[in-house]
Structure 1
Amino acid sequence: MTEPGALDQGVAQSEWTATVVGHHRLRHDIAVIRLIGEFVPFRAGQSVEVRTAGQPGVRRRLSPALPPSLDGKLEFHVRTVPGGWLSGSLVADTEAGDEWRIGAPAGTFHVDPEGDEVVMIAGGTGLAPMRAQILELARAPRPPHTYLFVGGRSPRDLYASDMLVLLAAELPWLTVVPVVDRLSDPNWADEWYEHTRAEVDVDFPADDLLEGTLADVVGSHGAFDHHQVLVCGSPAMTRATVDRLVATGTPRGAIQYEGF
């Protein structure tokens, strides 16, 4: 049976249209953008190619933070990339009503809901594909226990802390481990962070924060030799974490990873 939107007059459809319905600036360099439109046939954990009406010739790959839904809901976590052609505009200038074109689903991230325990390691907005897969696992009858290590440079870099605290409270099989390079925030003000703090009263308890790089913290746990392991973040974070996992005994073949 063909999924809705997968075919157009007998020809495989390569792009789908979605309209921005929400733009939430959470940090000076991070925004959560929500859209509704045509059904996009991706798999939870994959990325898609995005182009906007404002910059139709520029394409950027983003990972949806929700699993695919027949009602066409999409959510993206976008961070400004220095020198990037599109990311800065998406974070700062996106408005409700903007039309996006979504295409080219790609990627091999996957979790077997009947398989071994899961270890997810997410740096920054590498959280997005992990969240999509967690929500997909939540639909399974008996999801495997899942450990989500989520990292940032400092506590305020953990931009989705409220969502993760509530999600872990709702899903008994999910354990969230917050990791920061340093326990203190930088001494310059981020107006978007302050605005968000004024509206949200849910956060990771300070005692729950582990100090160190994601590579060091996950490496300190020893080998994940009977686990499904996924790593997503910046290229440098991904390389360092995968190397540390392998050095501490995690089989390289058990690690799925993507740097962006």
Structure 2
Amino acid sequence: MALENSEYAATVVGAHRIRADWTVVRLIGEFVPFAAGQSVRVRVPQHPNMVRRLYSALPPSLDGKLEFHVRTVPGGWCSPSIVTDTRVGDEWRVSAPEGWLAVEPDATDVVMLADGPGLAPMRSLILDLSRRAEPPTTHLFVGGRYPRDLYAADMLHLLSGELPWLTVVPVVQSEEDPDWVDDWYEASRVDIGFQPEEMMPGTLAEVIGRFGPLEHHQVLVCGNSAPVQNAVRTLVDNGTPVEAIRYEGF
């Protein structure tokens, strides 16, 4: 049953710290009526009177599964607690879906640009597209400052292998990881992922700028404000129609 003010209850069943400043939170609870690519408002027990807007990395499901990729916001109140203090059994409140990241039903070619937590809605949309009889040809450009910032490399590598219509392009500003050790990254390392030669150097804006105008594509962009704004500016300057672009920044 829905809670007051159209809130829905969801219980944490997994909190996986994958970087010093990243965690993946999985929940199961009541069905939340949102669309793939939308964000939702969440309240967590560590800060019950504060709200944070997050994107689910899973499309809506009748069994109430949700997944959120949360990164610490410097100086933030809520995100550091989610990253460090979330525990199995915590009850979250979920409500107020909004946003307009969506793939049109008649789209045949889609380009997605994701920076940081902007990957979550793109993954949700890709999983939703996989349910279509004829999914559109989709290119996902996912950016990070360093190779280890590509926190979902294993998942993306597997998805691109399973879905013949999906191509994943990893983009890194620096081809070498920093010298300091991230113990959470070291503990979560797996053998599956992108090889150095598969990564394109540069920012998302620089890399997408090499492809010229995207005149016949639907373009979705999501992530941290500066990279998102730079990528959209580059797309428009290169001749991509403004009406073909949907973007959301943090």
TM-score (norm 2): 0.98
Cα deviation, residue 129, structure 1: 0.2
Partner of 2:135: 143
Cα deviation, residue 13, structure 1: 5.5
- Among residues 19, 23, 31, which one is paired with 2:11 in the alignment? 19
Task: List alignment gaps of at least 5 residues for structure 1.
Answer: none
RMSD: 1.2
Partner of 2:153: 161
Residue 246 of structure 2 corresponds to residue 256 of structure 1: yes
Cα displacement string for residues 160-201 of structure 1 (whole angstroms, at most 9, x for unaligned residues): 00000000000000000000001000000000110011xx21
Partner of 1:83: 75
For 1:123 and 1:63, locate their aligned partners in 2 and report how far apart those are by CA, in whole Å. Answer: 13
Partner of 1:40: 32
Cα deviation, residue 252, structure 1: 1.0
For 2:76 and 2:218, locate their aligned partners in 1 and report how far apart those are by CA, in whole Å. Answer: 32
Amino acid of the residue matched to residue 246 of structure 2?
Answer: Q
Amino acid of the residue matched to residue 19 of structure 2?
Answer: R
Partner of 1:186: 178
Cα deviation, residue 95, structure 1: 0.3
8 Å contact from structure 2 (residues 142, 169) kept in 1: yes
Partner of 2:56: 64
Cα deviation, residue 113, structure 1: 4.0
For 1:257 and 1:55, locate their aligned partners in 2 and report how far apart those are by CA, in whole Å. Answer: 29
For 1:248 and 1:182, locate their aligned partners in 2 and report how far apart those are by CA, in whole Å. Answer: 24
**SS of equivalent residue, structure 1 residue 56:** strand
- Among residues 118, 131, 143, which one is paired with 2:110 in the alignment? 118
For 1:138 and 1:13, locate their aligned partners in 2 and report how far apart those are by CA, in whole Å. Answer: 33
Partner of 1:212: 202
8 Å contact from structure 1 (residues 114, 143) kept in 2: no
Partner of 1:237: 227
Amino acid of the residue matched to residue 176 of structure 1?
Answer: V
8 Å contact from structure 1 (residues 36, 72) kept in 2: yes
For 1:13 and 1:80, locate their aligned partners in 2 and report how far apart those are by CA, in whole Å. Answer: 28
For 1:189 and 1:46, locate their aligned partners in 2 and report how far apart those are by CA, in whole Å. Answer: 34
8 Å contact from structure 2 (residues 46, 81) kept in 1: no
8 Å contact from structure 2 (residues 108, 136) kept in 1: yes
For 2:178 and 2:107, locate their aligned partners in 1 and report how far apart those are by CA, in whole Å. Answer: 41
For 2:5 and 2:83, locate their aligned partners in 1 and report how far apart those are by CA, in whole Å. Answer: 28
Amino acid of the residue matched to residue 231 of structure 1?
Answer: V
**SS of equivalent residue, structure 2 residue 48:** coil
Structure 1 residue ranges (4+ consecutive) displaced by more than 4 angstroms after TM superposition: none
Cα deviation, residue 116, structure 1: 2.8
Percent identity at matched positions? 61
Cα displacement string for residues 139-177 of structure 1 (whole angstroms, at most 9, x for unaligned residues): 000101000000000100000000000000000000000
